[in-house]
Amino acid sequence: MTAIDHQAALARAGANVTGWWSRTLFFARRYPLGAVGAVIVFLFIFTAVFADVIAPVDPTATNAKYSLAPPSSMFWLGADFMGRDMYSRIIHGARISLAVGAGAMGLGGILGISIGLASGYLGGWIDLALQRLMDIMQALPLLVLAIIMAASLGPSLRNTVIAIAIPLVPSVARVVRSSTLSLREQPFVEAARAVGMGELRVAVRHVLPNTLAPLIVLATAQLGSAILVEASLSFLGLGVPEPHPSWGRMLSESAAEYVRTAPWLVIWPGVAISLTVFGTNLLGDALRDLLDPRQRS
């Protein structure tokens, strides 16, 4: 694999890559589905960041009078068993999902990058040991490892992030390692070493930036799966606890009990999860096409 950057990729694709705006337009025209995904992801992040401003009421405020109230002008998406506004809860749920998704992706990314760089750059027995560790972690399906981790750590927001981040590490480490291996022998890296740069500096300054393209592709995919795993963990009661309005949590136990009297309890959180993950998947696909020409179809 060779060094790739956006400019080059776009240039190869025959675009006139001047300003940011035209690049965006080009992207949208070349990858309409990817553009839809980007819009969804942007909306998701926007909602999460400005949840306090967007949500009409406090998502944890209970009110006996409105228990299981159907959608109305007051409760756009209805109210839950405790009379809490579903719309506000969904809005704030974006924040939980983003916090866990981005947190897990970030933490898993940092760990994975460190391990991958160490592995690929240092080689030798360190590489061997780290690779075996990655093998072990990949011997269990993502959700199974996350469940065991989450149960060991106990339900809380922080622990959920850790429980999801750890299983994400091996794939990041693998990607970084393989790019590092091929980059290590590249002329520009050798040149940097020749002028007397320290090994760590070479790795971070020259090798890491060039593994960015496959990492971006991977990160987008991982954001989606982290959100899905968070929802599953919370659904099983092992993830983010009440009263945090987690989408997965909203779908567990009580929601299903009122399925017929209050279907909105089941429908909206599921739509929110699916739409968000759908958006990241669309965007991820387009980014893969753009940044990783080998897999272009």
Partner 1 sequence: MGAYLVRRLFLMAVTLVGMSILIFVLLRLVPGNIADILVDATGNDDPQEKARIVHDLGIDRPLVEQYWQWINGLAHGDLGYAFVSERPAIEEIAPRIPISSKLAGLAIFFAVLLGVPLGVVSAVRQNSGLDYGLRVLSLSGLSLPAFWLGLLVLMASVQWFGTIPIYDADAHGFFTQVKMLALPAIVVGFRSSALIMRLTRSSMLEVLRQDYVRTARSKGASNASVNYDHALRNALLPVVTVIGIEAAFLVGGLIVTETVFNIPGVARFLVEAIRWRDYPIVQNLTMLIAVVVVTMNFLVDMAYMVLDPRIKFGG
Partner 2 sequence: MRLTTAIWAAGTAGLLTIASPSFAQKQGGTLNMPLRDNPPSASIHEEATISVVQPFMAVFNNLVVFDPNQKANSPDHIVPDLADSWSWNDDKTKLTFKLHQGVKWHDGKPFTAKDVKCTFDALKGTPDEGTDLMRKDPRKIWYINLKEVTTNGDNEVTFVLGRPQPSFLSMLAAGYSPIYSCHVPSREMRTKPIGTGPFKIAEYKRNESIKLVRNPDYFKKGKPHLDAIEWKIVPNRSTRMLGFVSGQFDMTFDSDISFPMLKDVMSQKKDAICEARPSNVNSNILINRDSPPFNNPEIRRALVDTLDIKAFNEILSQGHNLDGAAMLPPPNGVWGMPADMLATLPGHSTDVEKSRAEGRKIMEKLGYGPDKPLKVKVATRNIAIYRDPAVILIDQLKKVYIEAELEPIDTTVWYTKIQRKDYQLGMNLTGVGVDDPDVNFYENFYSKSLRNYTGYNNPDVDKLIDQQSAETDIAKRKKIVWEIEKKLADDVARPVIGYNVDNTCWSPQVKGVKLQVNSIYNGWRFEDIWLDR
Q: Which residues of the shown chain bind partner 2 in the complex (CB under 8 A)?
A: 60-62, 64-65, 67-68, 81-83, 154-155, 237, 241-243, 253-254, 256-261
Cβ–Cβ under 8 Å, residues 240 and 246: yes
* 278 lines the binding site for partner 1 (CB under 8 A): yes
Q: How far apart are CA 16 and CA 3, in angstroms?
A: 21
User: DSSP 3-state assignment of 98?
Assistant: helix
Cβ–Cβ under 8 Å, residues 112 and 170: yes
Residue type, 113: I
CA-based R_g, the chain, Å? 22
Neighbours of 34 (CB within 10 A): 20
- Nearest CA to 66 among 93, 94, 89? 89
Selection from partner 1, partner 2, none that 126 binds (CB < 5 to 8 A by kind) is none
Selection from partner 1, partner 2, none that 62 binds (CB < 5 to 8 A by kind) is partner 2
Q: Which region, judged by CB under 8 A, interacts with partner 1, from 57-65, 113-121, 206-214, 225-233? A: 225-233
Nearer to partner 2 by C-beta: 159 or 179? 159
∠ CA(63), CA(64), CA(70), 5° rounding? 85
Nearer to partner 2 by C-beta: 61 or 110? 61
Selection from partner 2, partner 1, none that 261 binds (CB < 5 to 8 A by kind) is partner 2
Provide the binding-site residues for partner 1, judged by CB under 8 A: 33, 132-133, 135-144, 147-149, 151-152, 154, 224, 228, 231-232, 235-236, 248, 251, 255-256, 259-260, 263, 266, 269-270, 273-275, 277-278, 281-282, 285, 295, 297
